[in-house]
Amino acid sequence: MFSLPVRSMSFQAAVAVLAVFLCGFLVWTAAGDTVTSKAAAATPGATPDATPGGGEGQYEGSTSPPPPLASASGSPSAPPTKVSSAVQAKPGRTEPGKWVSLTFDDGPWNTYTDEILAILKQYNVKAVFCMVGNQARDLPSEVQKVVADGHTLCNHTMSHDEQLSKKSPDEIRGQMQHALDAIGKASPGTPVPFYRAPGGGWSPLVQETAASLGMRSLGWSVDTEDWKKPGVDKAMATVSKQLGNSGIILMHDGGGDRKMSVDLLKKLVPQLIAEGYQFTIPA
């Protein structure tokens, strides 16, 4: 007489247990989704840009746009040795003495690159030329002249995008890779060991992307602000104030009218030699 009620009670208990289990599972799943969402929001791309003080200059380069970034080469094979992603702003020499590195941005450029090369050759000085990909594409013979004179090349993005640190990972990598492709087409096989961010737009992602492409991030410790055309004497005073016993000097061979930069270099190189500085490429 009592078998039916017993089975009914057992059935109700089983349903209750199953309901509790399902509720617990749904709560656990929702909590997991919340944790995943928080983790995604904390990715490196969401961190604020780490941009040191100082600016690199005004660029008045080619108006032609870079190729579509979506067509950039895929991830290259890893460099043979790990490349530091730290921004380097010292010549990298540990020997006693006064060491200085000269760097030129925004070229290559008609006339001004040739004039700067002539001055450097006169004093047997080697420098770093930070090239914009659009310029390298349009003036391949100038790239070849820089390489023929034994200078070092640096990637300065395809279109001198000063807001690059705020762009997507694909856009950042695309700008760097397109510039490498343009430089490589102008001078096949020439290494490009450095990357310099336009306008000093550094961020962890920018630096890590450059390192993944085998390039060290090249900063500076002396900004002549030659792009502002302050005059040779004022620019010389800036170098004297900022240089110390060693440093990396930022100048321009492209990006607009650089006659003052040429005049500055004519006076700067012999002055540095007279003060006992030795010229070197950042290590």
Please identify every residue annotated as catalytic.
Answer: 105, 252
Question: Does residue 165 sit in helix, strand or coil?
Answer: helix
CB hemisphere CA count around 77 (13 angstroms): 2
How many other C-beta atoms lie within 10 A of the C-beta of residue 111? 13
CA distances from 14 to 6, 9, 24, 27, 106 (A): 12, 9, 16, 20, 76
Strand 222-223 and strand 128-131: pairing?
unpaired
- DSSP for 171-212, written as a single string: HHHHHHHHHHHHHHHHSTT----EE--GGG---HHHHHHHHH
